[in-house]
Chain A
């Protein structure tokens, strides 16, 4: 069964590249530019994994993470957070709010694919 990955980031180019990499590996994708939009999109569409930036306007990644974990359909859905080394302190905040998988920006498309494959069964 084809798995769907949601990409949440305020950078359109980052989304574009990540989506392209995911599609080339056979995943379906959906996108959103911030946490609030993502929550709306998730009402209509189903995602098996979510990739979200931490630092975004309107609704940041950690708030989004907290909200998404409240949805019964996403309680157990893996979430990959994107961070930068300079935000190590935010990373510990994120850990406290339930984020387990992190990918450090800047990353290469292959790194992101590897992370997704580690988390998605089949």
Chain B
């Protein structure tokens, strides 16, 4: 299985690859560590994201909502241009 997530620190991760509908299932699975740490303040570095579509974004949004609901926080850093454009489209910050 493709791995999209790489743990770099206690609370820091790197996300990379093609976050599209074709990988949505796998992406959800590899985000398991982030889902588990729902109550923590986490940061995810997005530099390595090559491509992202609605389905990929949706996985991240579900992940972020889950953190927020559990008192945690999910901070996306180094968001690449392709990804920022999508955030702008949907009006999510």
Q: Do chains A and B touch in the complex (CB under 8 A)?
A: yes
Q: Is chain B's interface secondary structure helix, strand, loop, or mixed overall?
A: helix
> Would A121 and B21 count as touching, CB distance under 8 A?
no
Within 8 A of B (CB), among A48-91: 73, 75-76
B85 an interface residue at 8 Å Cβ cutoff? Answer: yes
Interface size class of A (residues with CB under 8 A): under 10
Interface size of B by Cβ–Cβ distance < 8 Å?
A: 8
> Would A76 and B51 count as touching, CB distance under 8 A?
no
| Nearest B residue (CB) for A72 | B22
List chain A residues, Cβ under 8 A from B22.
73, 75-76
| Nearest B residue (CB) for A74 | B22
Q: Mark B34-77, 1 if CB is under 8 A from A, else 0.
A: 00000000000000000101100000000000000000000000
Further 7 A-B residue pairs, CB within 8 A, beyond A73-B22, A76-B22, A121-B86: A1-B51, A75-B22, A76-B21, A121-B53, A121-B54, A122-B82, A122-B85
Binding site for B on A (CB under 8 A): 1, 73, 75-76, 121-122
Pick 9 A–B contacts, CB within 8 A, sort by A: A1-B51, A73-B22, A75-B22, A76-B21, A76-B22, A121-B53, A121-B86, A122-B82, A122-B85
